[in-house]
Chains A and B, each alone.
Chain A
Amino acid sequence: MNAPTLHTARLTLGPATAAHAEAFIAFCASDESRFLGGPAEPRDAWEGVAIAAGLWALRGYGPFWVAESATGAPVGRVGLYYPIWRTEPELAWLVYPAYQQRGFGYEGAIAARDWAYATLGLAPLVSLIDAENTASIRLAEKLGAVCEGPHSPDGGHPTFRWRHPAREVLQ
Chain B
Amino acid sequence: MIALTGTPVLHTERLTLRAPCPADWPQWLAYFATERSQLSGGPLADDRAWRAFCHHIGHWVMRGYGSFIVTRKGSDTAIGLIGPYHPIDWPEAELGWALWNVADEGKGLAYEAAAAARDHVFRDLGWPTAVSYIDPTNARSAALAKRLGAVLDPAARGPHPDDFVFRHPAPVGGAA
Q: Which residues of B contact A85 (CB under 8 A)?
A: 46-47, 50
**Are A53 and B46 closer than 8 Å at their CB atoms?**
no
Task: Pick the contact of B61: A41, A43, A46, A57 (CB < 8 A).
Answer: A57
Q: Which of B24-81 contact A (CB under 8 A)?
A: 25, 46-47, 50-51, 53-62
Q: Number of A residues whose C-beta is below 8 Å from B?
A: 26
Give chain A interface residues in 102-124, CB to chain B under 8 Å. none
Question: Is A80's CB within 8 Å of the partner chain B?
Answer: no
Contact B56–A54 (Cβ < 8 Å): yes
Is there an interface contact between B62 and A1, defined as CB atoms closer than 8 Å?
A: no
Counting residue pairs across A and B whose Cβ atoms lie within 8 Å, the total is: 78
Do residues A42 and B61 form an inter-chain contact, with CB atoms below 8 A? no
Interface size for B (C-beta < 8 A) is 23
Chain B residues lying within 8 Å of A15, measured Cβ to Cβ, are: 61
Interface residues of A in 34-64 (CB under 8 A from B): 41-43, 46-47, 49-60
Asked if B22 CB lies within 8 Å of chain A CBs, one says yes
- Nearest chain B CB to A31's CB is how many angstroms away? 21
Q: How many Å lie between the Cα of A62 and that of B3 in the bound state?
A: 14
Chain B neighbourhood of A57, CB < 8 A: 2-4, 22, 57-58, 60-61
A-contacting residues, B104-150, CB 8 Å: none
Residues of chain A in range 51-99 having any CB-CB distance to chain B below 8 Å: 51-60, 83-85
Q: Which residues does A use to contact B, with CB under 8 Å?
A: 1-2, 15-16, 21, 41-43, 46-47, 49-60, 83-85, 154
| 9 CB-based A-B contacts, threshold 8 Å | A2-B61, A50-B54, A53-B58, A53-B62, A54-B55, A56-B61, A57-B4, A57-B22, A83-B47
